[in-house]
Amino acid sequence: MVPNFVPLYAVVIVLFSLLYFSFASIPFLFVRLDIPEVAQLFRGLFNAYFRMVAVTALVVTAAFAASGRPGFMAGMLLLAAGALVLRRGTLARIDAQQHACQAGDDRAMRRLRMVHWGSMTANFLVVASVCSGVPYIL
């Protein structure tokens, strides 16, 4: 068995990766996403976010497995799997909308903004669910 503070610190690491996206995605609300450099940074943010969440969630899964907490372990494993699955779909949607925007589709920018807002909302819900489980870890 590992000490009780190890899973708590592990959850803090996951929360850091989730909150990083929350703060890093805000500046993209104030710039046009059809500028090539901004579009590249935007896609890179999502790519890094999903990978970072998957890796940190897998580390936390191992911490919960070592501490004998299968419920939390399953939750973090689900978060890691979800990040890996959603990464492919979200990046494909971003690429499709960026290509449509470059081709002259006027509605593509709105759809790209909807991907952005939807991702920020989903991230907020994940942060809230992870935070709501913290009292049960102690």
Give CA–CA dist 110/97, Å, rounded: 9
What is the per-residue pLDDT for 74?
Answer: 95
25-73 pLDDT, tens digit per residue, is: 999 999 998 888 999 999 999 999 999 999 999 999 999 999 888 999 9
What is the per-residue pLDDT for 7?
Answer: 87
pTM of the complete model: 0.88
pLDDT band at residue 138, thresholds of 50, 70 and 90? confident
CA atoms within 13 A on the CB side of 92: 5
What is the per-residue pLDDT for 95?
Answer: 94
SS3 of 87-131: HHHHHHHHHHHHHHHHCCCCCHHHHHHHHHHHHHHHHHHHHHHHH
- Return the closest-CA partner of residue 136 out of 19, 7, 15: 7
pLDDT band at residue 3, thresholds of 50, 70 and 90? confident
pLDDT averaged over every residue in the chain:
92
